[in-house]
Amino acid sequence: MPFIIAIDGPAASGKGTIARAIAGHFGFHHLDTGLLYRATGAKGGDPVLAARSLSVEDLARPDLRSAEAGQAASRVAAIPAVRDALVEYQRRFAAQEPGAVLDGRDIGTVICPDAAVKLYVTASDRARAIRRAAELGTDADAVLEQLRDRDRRDSERATAPLKPAPDAVLLDTTGLSIHEAIERAKSIVAGVRG
């Protein structure tokens, strides 16, 4: 049975960086599920058809890390039929041996509720805005408003809202370096995996 690690949290909390590092360390497959939604939003047209027809090329688009793609992802992720179209893809990915790390917003609550390890990675709004602004080369105050709008939309949607699973371990990265956050996450996983 594959060992599944679910890593959830808001944008720019560090969950993707942690997920990639954990996957590499333990030799597991990694899926940034946000890319599925970003690619769906970026394709344009009917979002449900876009979700059902995602290709490898769609997931490799260079513009998927833009702020616009993030906002589009948040909008299409609120559509239940889009979520339904992408759930099975994510579950099949998670079932790969020897294990998989999936990061997103509803992995521990909806996609893989039986994951062996569930982390909810968070950070203060200001820390997240500074990180994302540095990544995008833009102003942190402008990014802060975008992050807050997205958090609100993601947390208030009727289907699979952003929230920690009841049994998730909270990892606040506000005052941590990347190295420290990764080491804490590795320790949590190692404690469960043995």
The pLDDT score that the predictor gives to residue 71 is 84
Q: What are the φ and ψ backbone dihedral angles of 131, each rounded to 5 degrees?
A: -65, -50
The pLDDT score that the predictor gives to residue 73 is 87
- For residue 175, say whether it is annotated as part of any ligand binding site: no
- For residue 47, say whether it is annotated as part of any ligand binding site: no
- For residue 14, say whether it is annotated as part of any ligand binding site: yes
- For residue 80, say whether it is annotated as part of any ligand binding site: no
User: Which 8-state DSSP code applies to residue 138?
Assistant: S
The pLDDT score that the predictor gives to residue 62 is 92
The pLDDT score that the predictor gives to residue 66 is 85
Residue recorded with tokens 């889009």: 82
- For residue 94, say whether it is annotated as part of any ligand binding site: no
- For residue 74, say whether it is annotated as part of any ligand binding site: no
Laid out side by side, the sheet with 99-104 consists of: 29-32, 99-104, 3-8, 117-122, 169-172
- For residue 173, say whether it is annotated as part of any ligand binding site: no
CATH class of 3-186: alpha beta
Cβ atoms of 40 and 73 within 8 Å: the answer is yes
pLDDT tens for the chain, 194 residues: list them. Answer: 899 999 999 989 999 999 999 999 999 999 999 899 999 999 989 999 999 998 888 989 999 988 788 888 888 988 989 989 999 889 989 999 999 999 999 999 999 999 999 999 999 999 999 999 998 889 999 899 989 988 898 888 877 888 999 999 999 999 999 999 999 999 999 999 87
Rounded to 10 deg, the angle between the 67-77 and 80-94 helix axes is: 100
